[in-house]
Structure 1
């Protein structure tokens, strides 16, 4: 039985090994498809246009034995392990809006653990975006056509071969031999390999933001992907260990950015204080490790709730500064806020202040940052007090900040409550709970009982069984009647909370045992896949057998 063993995920992109007819095939890959899928040669030139009417599609969509041909306007679907072929996909990116709609329709009705084959679509300048879109398998038809047109293929585009082939810019065997066809094929293979490495590192999005500049339709499609948040967010991991490089305008619209802001304004529960101070961010992450925030914290002395305004995330409460992506992002600093940044930060701040009504809100920011805070305050009807007297860390500014907080009570930030509410959507009672240990080995305890450990790489809390008892619902996976003796596979899952994303901490429950672990797939993929690890198990508690 054919199967696709997916070993790495990054958004909709996957990398793994396909086991079917012939030798195991590492994906993503480009192959001579007719050698692997022999019946493709029998029905050449039979692809149906993507915009064809449904009746035409149903009448002429070809049927194969080795692959399943699908179409956006056909009801035909596939089974787990099938190779799914989308004919004429090379024409899709000419219509970026349709590209997203067609992909949504096709991905929504085909099982996740299938191999997606896009014939005659892959060029070195576009294959990375196809991989980013969730396509796995390609052929050499497109690059061979470029060879026939005497065009030299690069990740930056296609150029006249007479200008480039002998230019010495490429050390491949094809260029060394003056063989344009070999160069073009090797260029495609190399670009797939590079894309796969970025995928495995969790940085395919950053790579795509660089590569998509070669063609305007790619830029348009990337922006439209981000508009379709409900489509892209479920496949976006909750955390990554790689840096979050927000170096382009498109970075500001990544699903991780909106999800973080939505949780801050919706789920997150601040600790009990009625004074807030809005602070600037810092280049160093987490912010509290920077010199500027060391000075700011010394002036505040826990007398106000510290809210850091920043691009691209909008607003980061101090308790969440070690969570992904707040502790992982890097953004070029120019001192200038563009219109989209201003709008996003102001909207996020207004939503937060509108939901959490503080008695006093201090704005310890200057220039354009102060304008954004004033805009947000006007939107939600909040009065602000400005404490900056120049740069936020100038002595006069720090003195003014300290004086403004004179007489306010000190309250220690409740990191546990803040992180649990953001991560699990639960407002727990943290009385009696303590955060102990140094950063790389911190844990939450109640007396001698450990309830959570802290993942130093991502900032996420990892609940023990006792910790899960504090979280009344959500992030549960229901398994069949077995005791996990290793990782939990997708076929053994009966139900899963729809909120689960790759990287989430989960509680695995069944009639015979309960286990703690981390999700390797999102909820939909868990429920619809017939193969693959769904959750990495950390600890298992087997229930005692019932008496006679």
Structure 2
């Protein structure tokens, strides 16, 4: 009854995870999946890897059984099986009351809002459940803020556990709930739909089309689940789940509120977001919800508070429109803008949505290089407010003398900080011959008036790398004394005869060498992973050899590996920081060892 569930994360996207169940090398089950209940039709293990039974006693006992051979170490018979007492569950509104009869503790852990408020046993550092059941999930959904807070608290407290939220899932909200962190579901809502002669599919409950051969039978409900689960698993593996979530959240006001509150919570949370993503990944920004996407809000907050232009570049500010192609500099329109500007002595900043502002020196990093949106030429009030506040903050922190505005957007005058502003568009398209001539003339006159100095090619690259390093590595002092060698696009970063790194366009960041380790310890602010004192570090990093984690570990982050107070190498994070407290499997890939 205390067997260990073999599980490893096959794909992840913030709180959403695709778990492989059983042998990590050949998993025989996956999540998201169903938990079969009494009265369900026959469902294959690939879709429903677990079965649950609840006694009719008070308090009830819950038994959860794995239907596949998932038990460590043999993986030869179905298992494991766990049982636990559910205790008394009071409504979430009675959070100040103590239910009196506590729920059990073990590999299968029932949790309710009331228990989270009162049971100190949940904070026992040795408690490591394998499946957590949010027993009052249905009641919690009536208060979206409380529901999201409960899910986030459970995920962060028990990162190595699968989460089942009984009674709330369906094909119509599966993607959203997986995004929120739920792994296991059941057919409660589908059975209710069948009893009402309705079909619950990805669009919600509806009357089946009899003339097309549809029905509301339980087998038809299972088919709807199968299609939804397959879709979510595929999107999660491809890194595009958020696109599906944005569409699905619009089916009801309650789901819109859930996603909005979840975004608010996640945007200020360390150890959740991304630092680097594959070059082919896109951040699709096709809906108003993209304004609140945590990666977008993180960018906006950092640009508004921490961004600094390259040294000496804050004399002349040139505002430009964005382009469909990323990085912008490779688009036809921006090649024409760069040619018209004719100098690298000005600070070029792109005006866009939903990111607001993207400086030329940061256009190759996440998410600036990866976002995509439909360009309509019209700006919403929220977009104008965001761009205006970001521009005002940027001007306040720098010493600009003049603004050459080729963006085509008109902001309230207060956003320009009282600086002289030259509108080079004058209502024309950005690429028209006369608009480009005005842009060229305005920049020449501003350079002549305010004395901006042109940079060498190497100085320009170093300026861009320092900006990228402040964003990606937390500082740029490790680049002091560095020189540029090699040919584009993979320039080598040299310090004397030592190569300390290379700029990688595919990664949108640095490929760091062994010679950079000690320089990074002194001249950057990388998250640190402290290994246990007695371990000999040979392979990748997993929870069993980690003593402590310091800093904001994001997916793709470069990590400084420490042991006994000394830097011993570098690693790249595969899992965000919230998972490092107990998720089995690889958490970071070893990169350099001293």
TM-score, structure 2 normalization: 0.81
Q: Could you tell me which residue of structure 1 aligns to residue 169 of structure 2?
A: 122
Q: 1:139 aligns with which of 179, 186, 209?
A: 186
1:505 matches 2:543: no
The verdict on how the C-alpha distance between 1:181 and 1:385 changes in structure 2, with shifts beyond 3 A counting, is same
Q: What's the offset of the Cα at 1:44?
A: 7.2
Q: Deviations over 1:434-453 (max 9, x none)?
A: 163333x4432334422223
Q: Could you tell me which residue of structure 1 aligns to residue 487 of structure 2?
A: 437
CA distance in 1, matches of 2:158, 2:220: 36
Number of equivalent positions: 521
Classify the secondary structure of the residue corresponding to 1:228: helix
CA distance in 2, matches of 1:517, 1:10: 19
Q: Could you tell me which residue of structure 1 aligns to residue 504 of structure 2?
A: 455
Bigger mean CA offset, 44-53 vs 99-108: 44-53
CA distance in 2, matches of 1:513, 1:270: 30
8 Å contact 1:236–1:501 — kept in the other structure? yes
CA distance in 2, matches of 1:467, 1:248: 42
TM-score, structure 1 normalization: 0.87
CA distance in 1, matches of 2:61, 2:537: 48
Q: What's the offset of the Cα at 1:464?
A: 1.9
Q: What's the offset of the Cα at 1:5?
A: 1.6
Q: Could you tell me which residue of structure 2 aligns to residue 371 of structure 1?
A: 411
Give unmatched runs, 5+ long, in structure 1.
Answer: 169-174, 542-548
Q: Could you tell me which residue of structure 1 aligns to residue 54 of structure 2?
A: 40
Q: 1:196 aligns with which of 227, 233, 256?
A: 233
Q: Deviations over 1:355-378 (max 9, x none)?
A: 122233222222xx1326x4421x
8 Å contact 1:489–1:534 — kept in the other structure? yes
8 Å contact 1:165–1:180 — kept in the other structure? no
Q: Could you tell me which residue of structure 1 aligns to residue 291 of structure 2?
A: 252
CA distance in 1, matches of 2:344, 2:204: 55
The verdict on how the C-alpha distance between 1:494 and 1:62 changes in structure 2, with shifts beyond 3 A counting, is closer
Q: Deviations over 1:67-110 (max 9, x none)?
A: 211012214438334210011313433332222233244334x3
Bigger mean CA offset, 27-36 vs 78-87: 27-36
CA distance in 1, matches of 2:104, 2:128: 18
Structure with higher helix content: 1
Q: Could you tell me which residue of structure 2 aligns to residue 395 of structure 1?
A: 433
CA distance in 1, matches of 2:22, 2:61: 25
Q: What's the offset of the Cα at 1:281?
A: 0.8
Q: 1:486 aligns with which of 511, 528, 539?
A: 539
Q: Deviations over 1:142-188 (max 9, x none)?
A: 21222122111110010124xx25425xxxxxx5xx57111102211
Q: What's the offset of the Cα at 1:200?
A: 1.5
The verdict on how the C-alpha distance between 1:383 and 1:53 changes in structure 2, with shifts beyond 3 A counting, is same
Q: Could you tell me which residue of structure 2 aligns to residue 544 of structure 1?
A: none
8 Å contact 1:286–1:327 — kept in the other structure? yes
CA distance in 2, matches of 1:99, 1:530: 23
The verdict on how the C-alpha distance between 1:18 and 1:56 changes in structure 2, with shifts beyond 3 A counting, is farther
The verdict on how the C-alpha distance between 1:228 and 1:472 changes in structure 2, with shifts beyond 3 A counting, is closer
Q: What's the offset of the Cα at 1:207?
A: 0.8
Q: 1:89 aligns with which of 125, 129, 137?
A: 137
Matches within 5 A, 1:513-524: 514-524=568-578
Aligned CA-pair RMSD:
2.7
Q: Could you tell me which residue of structure 2 aligns to residue 546 of structure 1?
A: none
CA distance in 2, matches of 1:205, 1:60: 40
CA distance in 2, matches of 1:394, 1:287: 18
CA distance in 2, matches of 1:66, 1:420: 43
CA distance in 2, matches of 1:521, 1:12: 10
Give unmatched runs, 5+ long, in structure 2.
Answer: 39-48, 63-85
Q: Deviations over 1:260-299 (max 9, x none)?
A: 2223333333222222211111121111111111111112
Bigger mean CA offset, 11-20 vs 191-200: 11-20
Q: Deviations over 1:315-365 (max 9, x none)?
A: 111111111211111111111000111111111121122112223322222
Q: Could you tell me which residue of structure 1 aligns to residue 10 of structure 2?
A: 7
Q: Deviations over 1:214-264 (max 9, x none)?
A: 222111211122222456563222233311110000011111111122233
1:26 matches 2:26: no
8 Å contact 1:478–1:496 — kept in the other structure? yes
8 Å contact 1:520–1:535 — kept in the other structure? yes
8 Å contact 2:34–2:50 — kept in the other structure? no
Bigger mean CA offset, 279-288 vs 492-501: 492-501
8 Å contact 1:506–1:517 — kept in the other structure? yes
User: After TM superposition, what 4+ stretches of structure 1 lie above 6 angstroms from structure 2?
Assistant: 44-47
8 Å contact 2:199–2:216 — kept in the other structure? no
Matches within 5 A, 1:472-483: 472-481=524-533, 482-483=535-536
Q: Deviations over 1:504-547 (max 9, x none)?
A: 11121224872222111223322x11622121112222xxxxxx
Matches within 5 A, 1:230-245: 230=267, 234-241=271-278, 242-245=281-284
